[in-house]
Structure 1
Amino acid sequence: MKYIRFLRKSLKNLFVVNLILIGFIFGVVFSVVFVTVGCQTNGGKSGNLSFASSSYDLSKLPEEYKYAYSVQRVLNEVAEKVSPAVVNIKSEDVITWKEEDPFYKFFGEDEFLKRFFELPDQPQSRTYKQVVPSLGSGFIISKDGYILSNLHVLKPAGKIAKNIVVTVLKSGKEYKAKLVGYDEETDIALIKIDPREDLPVVVFGDSDNVKVGDFAIAIGNPFGLNGTFTFGTVSAVNRDFAGNVFSKYIQTDAPINPGNSGGPLVNIFGEVIGINTMIISPTGQLGAAGNVGIGFAIPINTAKRVVDQLIKKGKVERGYIGVSINELDNDTRKQMGLPNDVGVLVSKVEPGSPADKAGIRQGDVIVAIDGEKISNFNELLLKISSKLPGEKAEIEVFRDGKQMKFALEVTSRPSDEELSRKMEQGSNESNTSEYKGIIVSEGKRGVIVVSVSDDSPFYGILQKDDEIVEINNQKISNLSDFKKFTDKNKNQKQFLIKFYRGEMLIIRGFSIK
């Protein structure tokens, strides 16, 4: 037995010695080959390694090279100017949830095992915790530490993180940041750090002057790679996207990736023209990983209006005039004598609202605000909401074939909850009525069709915004007339309806089974 242990130990030692010897021989051979090849890189002569060095005289370069070099120098200057004011933002939040104890789930249903393992009669739950991190970008807008970014950068777990850490790229210093305010509607957040020294800041440009084809440069921290600089052009401006009615977007093909969110989009002069916010991925999903040259930035002019209010009030207020709007198609506009793509219908005026006080009525068609034409609901909402409460607005409407102008003072837009409550109150106050799958509201000449259900006998005959003025030779001047008719004719099978579609009078007769 001792002999076997001795033999095993001897073989092990021999293996180690051989391994060392092989390594030594390989190292010597490799060194000889490397030195021989390396010494012959200089024209086959032995000696020290030498590498070709490049030098160029700008005065002797072709013109196209001079032009390219000048563009390169401009980009260098933009990077040097803007990058020091870009920051990395790291936010963390902890999510907790409860689950049934997996041990109980596995053994708890068997009475024998439950008694054997002394498990409780009822399932027990465990509390689990997970730290959810988020990495994004931002940029410094004041020497004392105000920083602009996206709200979603601060919400790694769906709510604003309690722990927000900012790294200033120029100094590498880390600061704990506090939230100043945010705007859900535009995905803008303002945070603040407290430095001991003045910080480098960005310069704001004018996003209203941005044009398709302008150079666009994105600076940020994609995938945590600090200070990444990418270059492209402005692909589109005033882009409606992602259902956001309070901001239009600048579209760019400058590569933007996860982590760029909240960073600046700048022009060739190093001025910030937007906040990089989202991308479309190859799958068509917003914000998913993988850039394909379709990115979107919030215009800096939109951000400036938000930031001013956040600093002064800690919240954002938007203008409101108190009208409900239905859009018009061009056929209806033509019948009304309006140009294509101009005008939206006022379907309701809130009592006591700025529009009501100014004299705007249900059935008016708003064609312009402050001299700018209005084509759809989003344009009207964006134009009005961009005003501060107390500011003036000139509303131009089309009524009975005539253009009219009304001056009013906008008020503060109610919250979504308040608007919903007002709609419910309007419904409770019987501002609408339903009959055989159609819903109507008060109109100027009769009742206006609000909606037609797919299974209604009126489907395909009436459509939204039609104005019913007569049914079965009974005049319908208002909602009260309509309710009187429907109360008396719940089982009616034959109809002769007279209604307006725009300014065109239509009469339709039909029977239902």
Structure 2
Amino acid sequence: MSDGSAPHRTGSSDPTRSAFGDDAPSYHWPFGEAVTTAPARRSRPRTGGVLAGAALVALLVGSGAGFGAARLSADRGTSAPSDPVSSTDPVPAPLPPGETTSTVEVARRVLPGTVMIEVGSGNGTGTGSGFVLDRQGHVMTNNHVVAGAASGSRIRVVFSDGRQTSATLVGRSPSYDLAVIKVKADDALTPVELGDSRSARVGAPVVAVGSPLGLPGTVTQGIVSALDRPVTVNESGSADAPTAYIDGIQTDASINPGNSGGPLVDAGARVIGVNSAILTLSAGQGQSGNIGIGFAIPINQARTIGDLLIADGKATYPVVGAQLQETASGVELLSVDSGGAARKAGLRAGDRVSSVDGREVETREELVVIIRTHRPGDKVTVGYTRGTDEAEAELTLGGRVG
């Protein structure tokens, strides 16, 4: 999406100190390489850094094997369920009490279908997690876990019973931080059961499964802390790296480096999200590891992108055809592409977007995240202000590959 694809430019001459003081938020790589962000434009509460959860097995820092820096757009969220596929579909009822099971039983069901993924070789090996989709051997994970495989790094998958096998990269989508790899088809594979992320409710119990810090088969328990958290995740520290925009499920289930790509499951052992990032405190605030705030990509969105990757090896994402800038008064259209969705709907440079389908927008990240919950060709209603006049426009979203 041209209006959201430019990643956040970060950096600091002193990686151990934030450019805005010891208490300012910074967005940390594992093992202490810190990058900083610009100060907030509005006086809203700020949070710490977000770290994509892929672990570096060797003590080699900066190899880029399976890492992603991330940013929490703002301290926003809602208890209303998000629908990454279609806002018109009926929202399912919460999990019936009879289907709720113990954490022990959830772990028993999910662990056989959860794997550890190693990418690279020698001292540059990085680890993440994934889960089996089918007996044809398709495994879902995060793009930032297997991005190195796109340049030739090998992939190895370790199952919960200790079996190891090689895997190939089927396809990846940096724009959604999702990827599918493939192991040899086998009737002995144990696919996980995919749930419906629209059924997620704030306060509902969840379990995160994966390989934090290279420890396969790790299970942690928590709750859904919030929904619709706008989170951005970078594939690498480069200012030119692709950026994924996630309408995140927030959880306090412990997620650490290496959990990336693993399943977040409900009390019925059904996957409702793909664990992707954690929020961390900045340097000088005492704790740099997990602080009980993690984020997962809703499984409805992940399933849609996974199907595209399996079918074509690539996925599309929606665009509005405009360049965005954040101002003191909100998100402004800096320019509008000729022939793009925004231009066709009558929007102009200088218009300030206030909502999408009735959902309030205050930051650039929020706008891009909401658009990314749709698909190319979907129609969305954009509320905007032109001068002092408020109006709405219906856009038919365009699409790009990425």
Verify: 1:320 aligned to 2:319, yes or no. yes
Partner Cα separation in structure 1 for residue 283 and residue 150 of structure 2: 25
Query: Across the two proteins, how many residue pairs are aligned to each other?
Result: 294
TM-superposed CA distance for 1:264, in Å, is 1.0
Structure 1 counterpart of 2:245, one-letter code: F
Matched residue of 1:389: which SS? coil
TM-superposed CA distance for 1:299, in Å, is 2.5
**Contact between 1:322 and 1:354, CA under 8 Å: does it hold in 2?**
yes
Partner Cα separation in structure 2 for residue 258 and residue 322 of structure 1: 35
Matched residue of 2:394: which SS? strand
Partner Cα separation in structure 1 for residue 280 and residue 312 of structure 2: 37
Match of 1:395 in 2: 382
Partner Cα separation in structure 2 for residue 257 and residue 367 of structure 1: 35
Match of 2:158 in 1: 167
Matches within 5 A, 1:49-448: 74-93=102-121, 131-155=123-147, 160=151, 162-170=153-161, 172-242=162-232, 246-280=245-279, 290-327=289-326, 329=328, 344-399=331-386, 402-413=389-400
Give CA deviations for 1:15-60 in whole Å, capped at 9, x if unaligned.
xxxxxxxxxxxxxxxxxxxxxxxxxxxxxxxxxxxxxxxxxxxxxx
Matched residue of 2:105: which SS? helix
**Contact between 1:144 and 1:198, CA under 8 Å: does it hold in 2?**
no
TM-superposed CA distance for 1:281, in Å, is 5.2
Percent of aligned pairs sharing the same letter:
37
Structure 2 counterpart of 1:382, one-letter code: V
Larger-gyration structure (1/2): 1
Partner Cα separation in structure 2 for residue 218 and residue 328 of structure 1: 38
**Contact between 2:279 and 2:290, CA under 8 Å: does it hold in 1?**
yes
TM-superposed CA distance for 1:198, in Å, is 4.8
Deviates more, 1:241-250 or 1:254-263: 241-250
Partner Cα separation in structure 2 for residue 169 and residue 75 of structure 1: 17
Higher helix share: 1
Task: Give the TM-score taking structure 2 as reference length.
Answer: 0.63
Give CA deviations for 1:432-490 in whole Å, capped at 9, x if unaligned.
xxxxxxxxxxxxxxxxxxxxxxxxxxxxxxxxxxxxxxxxxxxxxxxxxxxxxxxxxxx
**Contact between 2:322 and 2:335, CA under 8 Å: does it hold in 1?**
yes
**Contact between 2:100 and 2:267, CA under 8 Å: does it hold in 1?**
no
**Contact between 1:78 and 1:268, CA under 8 Å: does it hold in 2?**
yes
Pick 1 or 2: higher relative contact order, CA cutoff 8 A, min separation 6: 2
Partner Cα separation in structure 2 for residue 245 and residue 151 of structure 1: 9
Structure 2 counterpart of 1:150, one-letter code: N
Give CA deviations for 1:216-268 in whole Å, capped at 9, x if unaligned.
21112234333122112223333334566621323322222333222111111
Match of 1:60 in 2: none
Matched residue of 1:169: which SS? coil
Partner Cα separation in structure 1 for residue 355 and residue 290 of structure 2: 39
Match of 2:14 in 1: none
Matched residue of 2:246: which SS? coil
TM-superposed CA distance for 1:75, in Å, is 1.4
Structure 1 counterpart of 2:262, one-letter code: G
Q: Which runs of 5+ in 1 are unaligned?
A: 1-69, 94-129, 333-342, 416-513
Give CA deviations for 1:339-369 in whole Å, capped at 9, x if unaligned.
xxxx643332222222222322234333333
TM-superposed CA distance for 1:399, in Å, is 4.1
Structure 1 counterpart of 2:200, one-letter code: V
Match of 1:504 in 2: none
Partner Cα separation in structure 2 for residue 281 and residue 321 of structure 1: 32
Match of 1:14 in 2: none
Partner Cα separation in structure 1 for residue 379 and residue 100 of structure 2: 47
The CA RMSD over aligned residues, in Å, is 3.2
Q: 1:71 to 1:383 in 2, by over 3 A?
A: closer
Task: Give the TM-score taking structure 1 as reference length.
Answer: 0.51
TM-superposed CA distance for 1:139, in Å, is 0.5
Partner Cα separation in structure 2 for residue 277 and residue 186 of structure 1: 10
Structure 2 counterpart of 1:92, one-letter code: G
Partner Cα separation in structure 2 for residue 296 and residue 407 of structure 1: 31
TM-superposed CA distance for 1:183, in Å, is 1.8
**Contact between 1:137 and 1:261, CA under 8 Å: does it hold in 2?**
yes
Structure 1 counterpart of 2:195, one-letter code: G
Partner Cα separation in structure 2 for residue 215 and residue 175 of structure 1: 33
**Contact between 1:257 and 1:289, CA under 8 Å: does it hold in 2?**
no
Q: 1:356 to 1:222 in 2, by over 3 A?
A: closer
